[in-house]
Amino acid sequence: MVLFLLLASTLLGMLAGLLPVVGMQSEREANPRSDYQPPNLQPLPSPASSNCSQLTLKLEFSSEVVEHEYIVAFTGYFSEKARSLYISSALRGAGDKNLEWHIVPRENPASDFPSDFELVHIKQASSSSLLTLEDHPYIKRVTPQRKVFRTLKYIPSPEPAAPFQIVIDCSSCFSGLGHGTFVAGVIASMRECQGFAPDSELHIFRVFTNNQVSYTSWFLDAFNYAILKKIDVLNLSIGGPDFMDHPFVDKVWELTANKVIMVSAIGNDGPLYGTLNNPADQMDVIGVGGIDFEDNIARFSSRGMTTWELPGGYGRVKPDIVTYGSGVRGSGLKEGCRSLSGTSVASPVVAGAVTLLASTVLNRELVNPASMKQALIASARRLPGVNMFEQGHGKLDLIRAYQILNSYRPQASLSPSYIDLTECPYMWPYCSQPIYYGGMPTIVNVTILNGMGVTGRIVDKPIWQPYLPQNGDNIDVAVSYSPVLWPWAGYLAVSISVAKKAASWEGIAQGHVMVTVASPAENDSEVGGELTSTVKLPIKVKIVPTPPRSKRVLWDQYHNLRYPPGYFPRDNLRMKNDPLDWNGDHVHTNFRDMYQHLRSMGYFVEVLGAPLTCFDASQYGTLLMVDSEEEYFPEEITKLRRDIDNGLSLIIFSDWYNTSVMRKVKFYDENTRQWWMPDTGGANVPALNDLISVWGMAFSDGLYEGDFTLADHDMYYASGCSIARFPEDGIVIAKNLKDQGLEVLKQETAVVEGVPILGLYQTPSEGGGRIVLYGDSNCIDDSHRQKDCFWLLDALLQYTSYSMTPPSLSHSHSRVAPPVGAERPLPQRLEGNHLYRYSKVLEAHLGDPKPRPLPACPHLSWAKPQPLNETAPSNLWKHQKLLSVDLDKVALPNMKSYRPQVRPLSPGESGAWDIPGGIMPGRYNQEVGQTIPVFAFLGAMVVLSFFVVQLTKAKSKPKRRKPRIKRPTYLQQQTATAGKNPTV
C-alpha cells in the first residue's frame, strides 16, 4: 500500500534587514502559536530567530608562560609508553635525585595514537636538567608551556552586520503538513538537520488556506510588509504559470528594487519543457531548479525557455542555478528530520546559502539582488551533458560564491555570458541546427545583470565586432535591448543571420558584441556621477550552405496562443488536472521531441513569429501549423493560397472545437473568483476552416478519442476533431473512434464508425503544393502524449516535400471516400467568446470583433560591423568570468568533501523517493464551486432511493444464502496465525 501525500503547504522565506522588529516581538506574547491567526501578515515566532543587532567583532590575543610546565618535542612519533621511557631516562641522566616531575596526562581520544610531544610538569627545574633533557637523542627540544588568551568583543556598530530572515508560511500550524517548518529548517535550523544560516532571523507568514488556495492580494500585502521591514532575502517556494498577473509581477519588481534578494522555486512540472513558473522566471529573481545527489537534474524540475517573449522573440535561459532538491533532509513537523523532494526544497537551499553569503560580506552596500545573482551564477559548477535550459549556469557552489562575492566590484554581467552556437549539449537547441543564409534569424535572449545600481542604461549602442581571421564578417548581428535596466536587470536580444556572401559557405564565424552599462553613482560626491561597466559577449556560430527548399520546414508560432492570459483549454480532455494549454507550443518547449525527430531526419526547422505574410514561401518546402488558436488576417489567407499554388506545402495538425464541450469545460476559479470560459477549443477550428475553405476542406466540430492502428503503428487519438470536407481526389483515412463529445456531455459511450481523421491532397495547379490535414495534435506534443506519431509526420513530410505518397496510407484499407460534409454544419465560433482580448488579429467592435489592420513585418536593423583583426579563444566559456575575480588562482578545497550526505533514515521514518511529474493540489481549483452541491445532491438521492427500495421490499423478505457464514470464520482462524495487522 502506498500512502500518497501531496503537499499542501507553502512557504515564503525572507531574510530581513535591520530594523528592530518591535511589532513582531509584542505579537509574540500576544499570539501564541496555536491560536488561530489570519493567514497573512502574521509573523509567527520561530524557534530559529535570534535577536542580533548590528555588531562588529574585536579580536585580542595575549599569552603567558605556565609555571613548571614544559613541552617536550620528540624527533618522531612515539607511543605513550615510549615517550614516558625516554623522558625518565633523560631525567635520570641529569643526576638530580630530588627532581619532582610527572607527565601531564592527556584525556583526549587522540592520546591513544603515537605523538611527537609530551607535556611535563617539573618542579624547580634547573636549566641544566632541561638541557640534559634536550640531550636525549629522541628529544628535539624543550619549551615552556604557554597559555594563550583570545578575547572576542562585540561592539555595536552603525553598519548592518547580521542578516535577518523572514519565512512566510504557516500551513504547518493548521494543516499539520509542516512544509513551512521544513523550508524554515533548511534555511535556519539550529539543531537537528542543521540549516545554512542558524543565526538568521526568520519572519514567517502563511500564504495558503487549508485548501491550498492563495490570492495575489495576500502576496501584495505580505511583500509590502517585507519591504517596510527591510528584509534582506525572501524565499518563495511557490509559483504559478501566470506571468501576466501584473499586480504580482510588478510587486516582485518593486520588492527587488527595494534590495530584497528574491529566491524562488522554478516549478515541479518537468521533464516537460516550457514549464517555468513565475516569479522564478523573472530576470530579477534567482530561479532555482532541483538536482539529486548524483548531480542529475531532478525529473520534476521545470525547464525550457521562458515563454513571455513568444511569438516574436525567443525565451530567456532559466533556471538560473540548480541545487539539491531531491530527498533533501530538513526539520520535521514536531521533531527530528524528514526528507522532501521538489524545487520547493531546492529554493531554501539557495536562500540559506544566500543568507550565509550575505553575512560574510564586509561591505553590505555591495550586496544587492544583482550582485548576489552574479556571484551565484559565476561560481556555479556546470553539470556535464545537460543543456542550459535545464541547469542554467549549473550547480550552486557556496565556497566559490563566497570567494567571488568577497572580491566583488560593482559591474554588469551577462547571462549567458557568451553565445557559442556550436557547443553541444550545453547550448541546446542552438547547437542542434547550424545557421544558413536566408533562414529566420537565430535569436539569443541574453539577460544583463547590473550590480551597479537598481537602474541602469546601455550607453550609446552595443557594438558588433566581427573577427576577420575567423570569418566574423560572414554573419550579420542585430541587437535589441531594454531601454532602462530596471530593477537590476534587462534583456539584450541578439539576432544572428548569415550574410549573403556566405550563402554557399561552410564554416565557423566568430566575433563579439560590446555593451557598456551605466548606472547613477550613489556614493559619488559629485552629483550626476555615473558608474560604467563594459561587457563583451563573444559569439561563435556554425554556418552551412542554404539547404534545399524540400529540407526546410517552417513552424508557425504566430498563430499559437496560450495561457496566460486567456483560457485556452488543454488539447487532451482526459487530463483534468492540467486544464490549460500553457507550455508555449514552441518547437523548443512542448514540441521539443518533434523538433529533435525532424532534425534527426535531416530537416531544418525554422520558426515564424510573424504573420504568414512575412515569409518568403519559395524558401520552404512545408509550413507546419499545429494546434493553432489564433485567427487569420484576410491578407494571410490570400497569401497562403498564392504560396500553395506556387509550390509551398501545408501540414495542419488541428484539435477539437466543440461549443457545447467548451461550455462544459468552463470552471469557477477560486483564485480569481470568476467563471472561466474557454475562448477556443483545443484549436481554433472555425479560423482554420476559413483558411482552408478555398480548397474545399474543413474540420468538423466532432470530438473523438480512441486507440487504433495505422500502417502497423499503434496510435492514440486524444480529443481530436474529424475532417468534415475534403476534395474528392484526395486521400482520406478513416478510423473507428469513440465519440468523446457524447462522453463529456452526457457520460455515454458510443463508437463512431469511419471517422475521417487524415487527409492528403495535391493541389491541381502546375507545380502546386500539397495539403495534409490531421485532426489531433496530441501525438506530436510532448505534454500528455501517450503514443507518438513521428513516423506519420515523416511520411507526411515525405509527401509534402518530395511528393512521395506513402503507400501505407494511399493503399490503406482504412482509406475512404472524401467526405463532402453536407450532413453536418461546420463549427461556428462560440457566441460571446473573448478571443479578441488576447488575439493579435482581432479587435473589439460593436457586434462581432473585426480583424485589425495587418501589422508591418518585423524589421531588424543590422548593427554596423566594426571588424577586428583578432583571434578568439577556442573555448569561450572558460574566458567568461566576472571581472577582477580569478578563480583559478584561488586554492579550492576538494569539493567532494562538501557534498551533503544522505544519512540513513532514523527508525520510524519513511523512506524517500520522488514522485515523478508530481501533481500538485491547489494548482487549479476549478470545480470546487460545482462539485460540492453535486455531491450533496447525489448523496441525498442515494439515501432517498435506498429508503424507497427498502419500503418496497419490506413486505417480501429477501432470501439469504446461509452457507457463506462459515467461510469468513474459517478465514479468521487462518489469518489469526498469520498475525499481520496494519500498523499505520
Between residue 484 and residue 543, which ones bind other proteins under the rule CB under 8 A?
A: 484, 486-487, 520, 522-525, 527-528
Catalytic residue (choose from 49, 136, 169, 783): 169
Reply yes or no on whether 281 is catalytic. no
CA 974 to chain centre: 54
981 touching other proteins, by CB under 8 A? yes
9 touching other proteins, by CB under 8 A? yes
340 touching other proteins, by CB under 8 A? yes
Kind and range of the H or E run holding 39: none
Q: Supply 102's cell numbers.
A: 610527572
Q: Write the CA distances from 138 to 86, 129, 864, integer angstroms.
A: 8, 16, 79
Q: Supply 636's cell numbers.
A: 494571410
Single out the residue of 938, 651, 668 nearest to residue 797, CA to CA.
651
984 touching other proteins, by CB under 8 A? yes
Q: From CA 765, how far away is CA 645, in angstroms rounded? A: 6
Choices 145-153, 175-183, 732-740, 846-854 (CB under 8 A): range interacting with other proteins:
175-183
Residues of span 900-959 touching other proteins by CB under 8 A: 910-913, 915, 918, 920-924, 932, 935-936, 939, 942-943, 946-947, 950, 953
Binding footprint of other proteins, residue count (CB under 8 A): 134
In 779-825 the beta strands, taken as DSSP E runs, fall at 815-816
Burial grade of 840 (CB within 10 A; 0-12, 13-18, 19 or more): middle
Residues of span 38-57 touching other proteins by CB under 8 A: 38-43
Reply yes or no on whether 169 is catalytic. yes
- Binds other proteins by CB under 8 A, chosen from 672, 871, 906, 930: 672
327 touching other proteins, by CB under 8 A? yes
Q: Supply 12's cell numbers.
A: 515564503
Residues of span 388-427 touching other proteins by CB under 8 A: none
Q: What are phi and psi of 767, to 5 degrees?
A: 65, 20
Single out the residue of 313, 306, 922 nearest to residue 582, CA to CA.
306
Reply yes or no on whether 35 is catalytic. no
Q: From CA 79, how far away is CA 70, in angstroms rounded? A: 19
Q: Say if residues 463 and 866 touch (Cβ distance below 8 Å).
A: yes
Tell me how far apart the 2 most distant CA atoms of the chain are, in Å.
127
Smallest distance, Å, CB 958 to other proteins? Answer: 9
Smallest distance, Å, CB 557 to other proteins? Answer: 21
Closer to other proteins by Cβ: residue 340 or 435: 340
Choices 108-116, 341-349, 428-436, 684-692 (CB under 8 A): range interacting with other proteins:
341-349
Kind and range of the H or E run holding 77: strand 55-78
Q: From CA 605, how far away is CA 601, in angstroms rounded? A: 11
Q: From CA 514, how far away is CA 534, in angstroms rounded? A: 7
552-556 and 622-626 as β-strands: parallel, antiparallel, unpaired? parallel
Closer to other proteins by Cβ: residue 891 or 942: 942
Q: CB neighbours of 334 closer than 8 A, spacing ≥ 6?
A: none
Binding mask 280-319 for other proteins (x = CB under 8 A): ----------------------------------------
Closer to other proteins by Cβ: residue 874 or 950: 950
Q: From CA 360, how far away is CA 402, in angstroms rounded? A: 8
Closer to other proteins by Cβ: residue 579 or 609: 579
Smallest distance, Å, CB 207 to other proteins? Answer: 8
Closer to other proteins by Cβ: residue 302 or 762: 302
Torsion angle of the four alpha carbons 468, 473, 476, 482, in this order, in degrees rounded to the nearest 10: 20
Closer to other proteins by Cβ: residue 813 or 959: 959
Smallest distance, Å, CB 914 to other proteins? Answer: 8
Q: From CA 418, how far away is CA 724, in angstroms rounded? A: 51
Strand partners of residue 843:
850
Choices 483-491, 611-619, 636-644, 739-747 (CB under 8 A): range interacting with other proteins:
483-491
Q: Supply 218's cell numbers.
A: 495576500
Closer to other proteins by Cβ: residue 522 or 707: 522
Smallest distance, Å, CB 457 to other proteins? Answer: 10
Closer to other proteins by Cβ: residue 187 or 554: 187
Residues of span 420-479 touching other proteins by CB under 8 A: 454-455
Catalytic residue (choose from 179, 393, 512, 597): 179
Q: CB neighbours of 632 closer than 8 A, spacing ≥ 6?
A: 559, 612, 687, 690, 691, 841
Smallest distance, Å, CB 159 to other proteins? Answer: 14
Smallest distance, Å, CB 252 to other proteins? Answer: 12
Size of the chain in residues: 984
Residues of span 784-823 touching other proteins by CB under 8 A: none
Closer to other proteins by Cβ: residue 667 or 695: 667
457-458 and 507-520 as β-strands: parallel, antiparallel, unpaired? antiparallel
Closer to other proteins by Cβ: residue 152 or 976: 976
Smallest distance, Å, CB 820 to other proteins? Answer: 40
Residues of span 207-266 touching other proteins by CB under 8 A: 207-218, 220-221, 224-225, 227-229, 237-242, 244-248, 250-251, 254, 257-259, 265
Choices 36-44, 693-701, 708-716, 820-828 (CB under 8 A): range interacting with other proteins:
36-44
Q: Write the CA distances from 153 to 197, 361, 764, 823, 935, integer angstroms.
A: 21, 19, 92, 92, 67
Amino acid identity of residue 692, one-letter, is I
- Going 697 to 703 to 709 to 713, the CA torsion angle's sign is positive
639 touching other proteins, by CB under 8 A? no
Closer to other proteins by Cβ: residue 747 or 972: 972
Smallest distance, Å, CB 41 to other proteins? Answer: 4
Q: From CA 208, how far away is CA 183, in angstroms rounded? A: 15
Choices 387-395, 536-544, 558-566, 708-716 (CB under 8 A): range interacting with other proteins:
558-566
Single out the residue of 857, 844, 853, 840 nearest to residue 684, CA to CA.
840
Binding mask 177-206 for other proteins (x = CB under 8 A): x-x--x------------------------
Residues of span 559-578 touching other proteins by CB under 8 A: 563-567
Choices 21-29, 628-636, 776-784, 800-808 (CB under 8 A): range interacting with other proteins:
21-29
Smallest distance, Å, CB 248 to other proteins? Answer: 7
836 touching other proteins, by CB under 8 A? no
604-608 and 530-543 as β-strands: parallel, antiparallel, unpaired? unpaired
Q: CB neighbours of 488 closer than 8 A, spacing ≥ 6?
A: 256, 257, 283, 284, 368, 369, 370, 373, 449, 450, 451, 454
Q: From CA 23, how far away is CA 778, in angstroms rounded? A: 55
Catalytic residue (choose from 175, 200, 344, 628): 344
Closer to other proteins by Cβ: residue 874 or 972: 972
Please confirm whether the linkage preceding 579 is cis (ω < 30° from 0): no
Smallest distance, Å, CB 203 to other proteins? Answer: 10
Smallest distance, Å, CB 17 to other proteins? Answer: 12
Active site residues: 169, 179, 344
